[in-house]
């Protein structure tokens, strides 16, 4: 679409409102965050075919070629009636990474299914010996003709039990420095040689998993960004993940303690000067983080990574921990209770425990501080003795 053909914001707003009025019906409540209902998939197909799912994408790949300011109009109208599916060009990790780095074959095979959630994905990055130092992964992918054979182990993988595909970081060359010997693949999960074992979290849930891979196969067409470019390709995927985690935290199970101001009012402490001071601090942190994230996204073109996303993720981690501590203080001794018969206390404790997810997932708080220090503030890098030697020679525990 050429610039001359672009609608005005008011014209687009009218179009989207009319389309939603004619097409939107609230969906059944989701029971599994890692699976999509037939009703949701059908709705997302409508959104995609209307051009609202990824409006900044090129027209040949389901988009409209819109700039971010026009695409934001679409998101605003969907958000106003709580309809899902728009602006996935901001948050759909597998789709956005595939659009940026995937072959035409990969895009033709999977892009639509990623956008309508017919195919769910997980992220096979971290390993038992390669978490904070993600460039030290030892899962291997060995080329056999037009296919790669994968062997190794991954851990802390969300949604692996139901995933159809995974973004897999694997080592394809042991004779170059660690960052240069990596490749990123879209690995089919429903095949022999892949075993998924759930891990019980501190919240009692089992969203995380460890994954064992034995002679699994992936097509060379499903390689993202080319052989040996896995570290650079990974930064694109991580930028989207950190952007998502920097925008918001997870809501509670019973929805009884999500609103901090309402919780303080219900417990009669909203007029307490100390509570109001801490509330103002948290609200200011949220607004500052919102503005910072908007700035980072406005300065980032489709598919690129931004170190400022780390600032948003780190800020959200602090916000969630601060809010959880406030909620515990507000409900007092009630926080010693748990279970469905104590829904408010159960929510506060759940949010307190779940705050650690944002401190760890997508790169720990400590990793984000390193990224901010080195790439945003320009501080000297930490020494890495194994950075420039062949990975085969690197010391391993």
Q: Whole-prediction pTM value? A: 0.83
Q: What is the pLDDT along the chain (397 residues), one digit of tens a residue?
A: 444 489 999 999 999 999 999 999 999 988 788 889 999 999 999 999 999 999 999 999 999 999 999 999 999 999 999 999 999 998 899 999 999 999 999 999 999 999 999 999 999 999 998 887 899 999 999 999 999 999 999 998 999 999 999 999 999 999 999 999 999 999 999 999 999 999 987 777 777 899 999 999 999 999 999 999 999 999 888 877 777 766 666 666 667 778 899 999 999 999 999 999 999 999 999 998 888 877 776 665 544 556 777 888 888 899 999 999 999 999 999 999 988 899 999 999 989 988 888 888 778 889 889 988 988 889 998 888 888 899 998 876 5
Q: Residue 175's pLDDT is what?
A: 96
70 within 8 A of 55, measured Cβ to Cβ? yes
How far is it, in rounded angstroms, from Cα 319 to Cα 323?
A: 6
Q: Residue 18's pLDDT is what?
A: 98
125 within 8 A of 234, measured Cβ to Cβ? yes
How far is it, in rounded angstroms, from Cα 23 to Cα 180?
A: 48
Helix (H, G, I), strand (E, B), or coil: what is residue 212? strand
How far is it, in rounded angstroms, from Cα 228 to Cα 63?
A: 30
What does the block give as tokens for 169? 């970081």
Q: Residue 3's pLDDT is what?
A: 46
Eight-class DSSP state of 95: H
Q: What residues does CATH 2.40.110.10 cover in the chain?
A: 121-228
How far is it, in rounded angstroms, from Cα 95 to Cα 237?
A: 10
Secondary structure E strands in the chain: 121-124, 140-144, 147-154, 165-171, 182-188, 194-198, 209-219, 223-224
How far is it, in rounded angstroms, from Cα 379 to Cα 225?
A: 29
Q: What is the greatest pairwise CA distance in the chain?
A: 70
Q: Which of 43, 76, 70, 42 is nearest to 57 (CA)?
A: 70
Q: Residue 5's pLDDT is what?
A: 81
380-381-386-387 Cα dihedral, nearest 10 degrees: -110
How far is it, in rounded angstroms, from Cα 244 to Cα 83?
A: 18
How far is it, in rounded angstroms, from Cα 218 to Cα 146?
A: 9
Q: Residue 324's pLDDT is what?
A: 93
* 248-376 carries CATH number 1.20.140.10: yes
What is the per-residue burial (b if ≥16 Cβ within 10 Å, else e) of 265-296? eebebeeeeebeebbeebeebbeebeebbeeb
The helix (run of H) or strand (run of E) holding residue 15 is helix 9-23
Would you call 37 exposed, middle or buried from its count of C-beta atoms within 10 A (0-12, 13-18, 19+)? middle
How far is it, in rounded angstroms, from Cα 299 to Cα 55?
A: 17
Q: In this structure, how many other beta carbons lie within 10 angstroms of the beta carbon of residue 321?
A: 18
Q: What residues does CATH 1.20.140.10 cover in the chain?
A: 248-376
DSSP string, 313-339: HHHHHHHHHHHHHHHHHHHGGGGG--S
> For the domain with range 121-228, which CATH number is right: 3.10.450.50, 2.40.160.20, 2.40.110.10, 3.40.33.10?
2.40.110.10
């Amino acid at each position: 679409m050429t610039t001359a053909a672009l609608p005005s914001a008011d014209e687009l707003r009218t179009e989207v409102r009319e389309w939603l009025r004619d097409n939107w019906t609230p969906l059944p409540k989701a029971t599994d965050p890692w699976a999509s209902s037939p009703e949701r998939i059908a709705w997302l197909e409508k959104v995609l075919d209307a051009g609202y799912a990824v409006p900044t994408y090129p027209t040949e790949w389901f988009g409209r070629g819109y700039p971010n300011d026009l695409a934001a109009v679409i998101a605003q109208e969907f958000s106003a009636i709580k309809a899902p599916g728009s602006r996935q060009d901001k948050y759909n990790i597998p789709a956005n990474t595939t659009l940026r780095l995937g072959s035409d074959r990969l895009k033709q095979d999977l892009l639509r299914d990623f956008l309508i959630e017919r195919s769910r994905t997980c992220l096979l990055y971290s390993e038992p010996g390669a978490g904070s130092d993600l460039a030290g992964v030892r899962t291997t992918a060995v080329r056999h003709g037009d296919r790669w054979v994968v062997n190794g182990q991954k851990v802390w993988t969300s949604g692996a039990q139901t995933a159809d595909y995974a973004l897999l970081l694997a080592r394809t060359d042991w004779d170059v420095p660690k960052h240069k010997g990596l490749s990123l693949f879209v690995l089919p999960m429903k095949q022999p040689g892949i075993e998924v074992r759930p891990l019980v979290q501190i919240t009692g849930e089992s969203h995380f998993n460890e994954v064992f891979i034995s002679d699994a196969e992936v097509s060379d067409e499903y390689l993202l960004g080319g052989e040996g470019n896995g570290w650079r390709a990974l930064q694109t995927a991580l930028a989207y993940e950190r952007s998502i985690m920097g925008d918001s935290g997870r809501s509670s199970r019973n929805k009884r303690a999500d609103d901090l101001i309402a919780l303080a009012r219900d417990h009669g402490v909203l007029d307490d000067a100390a509570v109001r001071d801490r509330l103002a601090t948290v609200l200011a942190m949220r607004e500052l983080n919102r503005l910072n994230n908007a700035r980072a996204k406005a300065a980032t073109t489709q598919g690129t990574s931004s170190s400022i996303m780390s600032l948003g993720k780190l800020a959200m981690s602090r916000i969630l921990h601060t809010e959880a501590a406030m909620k515990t203080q507000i409900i007092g001794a009630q926080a010693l209770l748990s279970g469905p018969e104590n829904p408010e206390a159960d929510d506060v404790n759940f949010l307190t425990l779940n705050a650690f997810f944002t401190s760890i997932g997508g790169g720990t708080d400590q990793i984000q501080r390193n990224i901010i220090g080195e790439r945003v503030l320009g501080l000297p890098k930490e020494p890495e003795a194994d950075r420039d030697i062949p990975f085969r020679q690197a010391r391993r525990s």
